[in-house]
Amino acid sequence: MDKFVIEGGERLQGTVRISGSKNAVLPLLAATLLRKGTYTIGNVPRLRDVNTMIRLLELLGVKTKWAEENRLSIDTRDAENHVAPYDVVKEMRASVLVLGSLVGALRKATVSYPGGCAIGERPINLHLKGLSALGCDINIREGYVDVTAKSLKGSRIIFDTITVGGTENILMAAVRAKGETIIENAAREPEVIDLACMLKKMGAKIEGEGTEVIRIRGVDDLEPCDYDVIPDRIEAGTFLAACGITRGNIIVERCVPRHIKAIIDKLKEAGMDIVEDGDSLKAAMTRKRPIAVDVKTIPYPGFPTDMQAQIMALMSISKGVSAVQETIFENRMMHAAELRRMGADIRVIGHAAIVKGKDMLSGAKVMATDLRASASLIIAGLAAYGTTEVSRIYHIDRGYESIEKKLRGLGAKIVRRKDESMGH
Ligand code: EPU
């Protein structure tokens, strides 16, 4: 197991290039199961979660090959298998995204039932309710969800809660259903739009993606396509927060500024200067300490839950008191206790954290509990006095491409070391 060793206190300076989006590429890879053929997906980030999705596709009969560093060739001509086994799904819940594409392509899917994870219970009842509305029979047996459909029929589906993965699964099944499907209270995230764009490139008829009502008219066949993944908005937001906490001055290249408007607005409120220039952002923090701001996570276009931990790190050295409220996941405050070990003054009450800004954090040994929590501890370590060691960084390798190299490129003192104390 690896850990990061960070010497805090360097102001970030220079240019960083944003990679392709983790949460966009996973459903796009799953979508290649919808139609046999050959695909090339570009701007694919090299991440552990991407490798896990590739492993799953290969178990389903897909062949893959890296054509270039970030370009993946996919051949689904022999994809006949419909079973996503426990070993893969337990590694990554997003494996459940093959449900919709397998049902769309083969009218059957057997997927290991995903368990909860560090940030919450994360049920899939809404995915299953939507598939059942499209005419699927659903059985839960021996830890697996077994979905079969004689035929798929378009339907009107109203989600009780906005669900990104649920919207994506229903989109993928509905493009091959007979007639029209209407998804109401659909997720509006850019990653959902990206999936709809790829499906449209394959010949699907979809309208309304990016709004709360998506209409899908099923088609008899689709065709394979080549497609480039959108930039990762959470990676961009993470670098902006790192710039803010270190009083840095950076350029964030190859991002889509409108995808991160809520994050930019919040960071500006906290005292950062952020200027858009095409697909780049110039960001600087001139104040000694950020202004305390309140944050509430809500589905897109609101402030994303995937940036909550990182902004909490920034707020831990703010001038004032900030309230950070998490409304999407039940258990996404684990980083608060680790930030406290670095001297932060954070009180968690239910799903909210009251953060009293301190002058300074101090380096400590801390442990990453999930992907975004790891990012928040790294950000805190960059600003802290002394040395911070972040262990269990396999979490960060799931979702950030070469984060330490990118941070070093901006002048940070961060190295990856073997963590002897953690075993294997
Ligand atoms: N929910 C249900 N029932 C369902 C589905 C969801 O109650 O059937 C609830 C969840 O428990 C949660 C809320 O709805 O409380 C939202 O969950 P959603 O389905 O939108 O989340 P997801 O699709 O499982 C994706 C991202 C997450 C991100 C969330 C919210 C991927 C692969 N994952 O998860 O990303 O936090 O949307 O934006 O796209 C991360 O990257 O660190 C990460 C966790």
Task: CATH number of the domain at 338, please.
Answer: 3.65.10.10
323 C-alpha to center of ligand 1: Å? 23
127 C-alpha to center of ligand 1: Å? 11
* Total of domains in the chain: 2
Using most ligand atoms within 8 A of CB, pick from 163, 195, 238 the residue to mutate for ligand 1.
Answer: 163
255 is catalytic: no
170 C-alpha to center of ligand 1: Å? 14
Asked whether 357 lines ligand 1 (CB < 6 A), one says no
Does the structure show a pLDDT above 60 at 90? Answer: yes
Q: What is the pLDDT of residue 117?
A: 78
Residues 192 and 339 in one domain: no
Asked whether 165 lines ligand 1 (CB < 6 A), one says yes
Residue that finishes a domain, picked among 192, 219, 246: 219
Asked whether 120 lines ligand 1 (CB < 6 A), one says yes
**pLDDT tens digit sequence for 302-348:** 999 999 999 999 999 999 999 999 999 999 999 999 999 999 999 99
- Considering the entire predicted model, what is its pTM? 0.98
Residues 280 and 181 in one domain: no
**pLDDT tens digit sequence for 10-64:** 999 999 999 999 999 999 999 999 999 999 999 999 999 999 999 999 999 999 9
- Domain membership flag for residue 112: yes
DSSP 306: G
Per the structure block, which two tokens stand in for 114? 């995903």
Torsion over CA: 356, 362, 367, 368 (sign): positive
Residues 373 and 267 in one domain: yes
Residues 191 and 276 in one domain: no
164 C-alpha to center of ligand 1: Å? 6
Task: Report the atom number in ligand 1 closest to the C-alpha of 304.
Answer: 38
**pLDDT tens digit sequence for 125-164:** 999 999 999 999 999 999 999 999 999 999 999 999 999 9
Q: What is the pLDDT of residue 424?
A: 44
Distance (Å) of CA 20 to CA 34, 51, 80, 232, 274: 22, 14, 29, 5, 22
Sequence letter at residue 331:
N
Q: Whose CA is nearest to atom 23 of ligand 1?
A: 165
Asked whether 409 lines ligand 1 (CB < 6 A), one says no
**For helices 22-31 and 190-201, what crossing angle results, to 10°?**
30
Asked whether 94 lines ligand 1 (CB < 6 A), one says yes
Q: What is the pLDDT of residue 421?
A: 73
Tell me how long the chain is: 424
pLDDT band at 119 (very low <50, low <70, confident <90, very high): confident
**Taking residues 384-394, what's their average pLDDT?**
95
Q: What is the pLDDT of residue 422?
A: 58
Q: What is the CA radius of gyration of the chain?
A: 21
Residue that finishes a domain, picked among 164, 196, 219: 219
Residues 309 and 392 in one domain: yes
Residues 198 and 292 in one domain: no
Q: Whose CA is nearest to atom 14 of ligand 1?
A: 163
Asked whether 97 lines ligand 1 (CB < 6 A), one says no
Q: Which domain holds residue 360?
A: 2-19+231-422
